[in-house]
Amino acid sequence: MKLEVPASDDCDLTIVEHGSQTAHPSDSSPCSDNNSLSDVGLSRHSEFDLTESLVEFAVESTIFRVRSFFLDRESRGSYRFYTPGVNRVYLEGTTCLEFASLKFFYYGTRYEMTGIRPRAISEVYTHPHNIDPAQWIVISEKNNVVEWLLEARTALCSREASKPVLTKCDLVDDDFEREERAKERLKREKETLRQEQEREKERLEKEQKQKQKQERLKRETERLQHEQEQERLEQRAIRARDERESQKAEQENAEARAHAIERERKEKQMSIFERNREAERKTAEMARVGELDRLWGLDDPSGPPFPLPVKAQTDLKCTTEDHPAPKSLRLKGDAKTKTSTPPTSTCTEATATAPSKKRLSLKEEMAQAEAAHWEGEEDRQAFECYNTSITACR
């Protein structure tokens, strides 16, 4: 049953009953006591003797027609403020909306279970194999479920034919066939199990090979990475060694340059020192030669005290008259007598005889002078010093 209440005050309560018919005041009539109690031995129940009478309520300008069962049960008929025979109640001081709300509480639709039919249809449709196709068709037509008919009729037309009545031999043959079928089924199951085991074994072998391949790839990758790392370390060591060698070579070059510069500086200093020393030595030698000349009278025009070459006698104008030679440098012949022949005559003779003889070289003249007899080793050393001085001067 469904109750529809308009929102306006001039509302009209309409009661709708789900089913093939709709409730209307003219369609319902009170139960006849003669019909219900016509059979002997029947009596009415004190609580569940329900009537189908309707009662009208006039609220403001609206008529409400509802069943009287709930009203009789709750008020025991005290709501009828009217003369018997009149089936209408006039309510004063009550609005149409208030009365409609009250009746909505009594005649609500919360217990109608309107969703039970679709659920039952869906549950039956979910298990169609438990219902015979013929019974399915009957249920569809009875409950007006049109969507079941096509499928039920199709199943009815496509079902297998009924089996004939079997004899004992047929049963034996049937048992034998069932046994054979069981053996065949067992054989097929064993074959299927064997194939599954083989497939499982192949799958495991494939997985094992794949795993080994992955491990090999992993080891190869690790080896390559290790080799690359070793190569990088070697290259780094080579670069470090090259850098050290280059630094060492640069350091050696710098040291060599420093040594060369130092050697050049020392050579320059040594050359300067040698030149200075040579100059000092020459100066000292010249000073000593001058001193010897002064001591021996070579710087005097009188000449040296011993024979000299013709050219030397001419150049030096050797005379010994005023500056006689030292006693140690005198010849042996002169030591015997003081009135020896003066050297001037010797120089004169040498000068006179010079054109007729071959002119001797300085070396030969010095050899002849060295061959002369001197008095003692002191005279010989003095002559050698003089010879060295003459050679240096020339």
| More reliable by pLDDT, 127 or 100 | 100
What's the rounded mean pLDDT across residues 119-139? 80
Percent of the chain whose predicted confidence (pLDDT) is above 90: 15
Does residue 265 have a pLDDT over 60?
yes
What's the rounded mean pLDDT across residues 295-322? 48
| More reliable by pLDDT, 150 or 39 | 150
Does residue 29 have a pLDDT over 60?
no
* Contacting residues for 94 by C-beta, under 8 A, at least 6 apart: 59, 60
With cut-offs at 50, 70 and 90, classify the pLDDT of residue 236: very high
The amino acid at residue 370 is E
With cut-offs at 50, 70 and 90, classify the pLDDT of residue 243: very high
Lowest-confidence segment of 9-18, 117-126, 216-225 by average pLDDT? 9-18
- Which alpha helices (H) appear in the chain, and where do they start and end? 33-36, 69-75, 96-106, 116-126, 133-142, 149-158, 168-296, 310-316, 332-336, 343-353, 362-371, 376-393
Nearest-Å Rg of the Cα atoms of the chain is: 83
Does residue 65 have a pLDDT over 50?
yes
Percent of the chain whose predicted confidence (pLDDT) is above 70: 50
| More reliable by pLDDT, 228 or 329 | 228
What pLDDT is recorded for position 40? 55
Q: What angle do CA 73, 75, 77 make, to 5 degrees?
A: 90
What pLDDT is recorded for position 56? 84
With cut-offs at 50, 70 and 90, classify the pLDDT of residue 153: confident
Q: What is the pTM of this model?
A: 0.23
Q: Chain-wide mean pLDDT for the chain? A: 68
Lowest-confidence segment of 50-64, 148-162, 213-227, 279-293 by average pLDDT? 279-293
Q: Domain segments of the chain: what residues?
A: 2-30+48-106, 126-158, 297-393
| More reliable by pLDDT, 272 or 228 | 228
Does residue 238 have a pLDDT over 90?
yes
Lowest-confidence segment of 93-97, 183-187, 309-313, 320-324 by average pLDDT? 320-324
Neighbouring CB atoms inside 10 A of 300's CB total 18
Residue 303, sorted as left (phi over 0), alpha (psi -120 to 50) or beta, turns out to be left
Q: What angle do CA 93, 97, 101 make, to 5 degrees?
A: 110
What pLDDT is recorded for position 362? 55
pLDDT per residue as tens digits for the range 182-228: 888 888 888 988 999 999 999 999 999 999 999 999 999 999 999 99
* Contacting residues for 57 by C-beta, under 8 A, at least 6 apart: 63, 64, 65, 66, 88, 89, 90, 91, 99
pLDDT per residue as tens digits for the range 336-384: 434 444 444 444 444 444 444 455 555 565 566 555 544 455 556 666 6
Tell me how far apart the alpha carbons of residues 87 and 77 are, in angstroms, rounded to a whole number: 12
Does residue 121 have a pLDDT over 50?
yes
Does residue 119 have a pLDDT over 90?
no
Lowest-confidence segment of 208-217, 255-264, 292-301 by average pLDDT? 292-301
| More reliable by pLDDT, 388 or 359 | 388
What pLDDT is recorded for position 212? 92
What's the rounded mean pLDDT across residues 8-35? 38
| More reliable by pLDDT, 193 or 324 | 193
Neighbouring CB atoms inside 10 A of 380's CB total 14
What pLDDT is recorded for position 170? 55
To which H or E segment does residue 63 belong?
strand 62-67
What pLDDT is recorded for position 245? 92
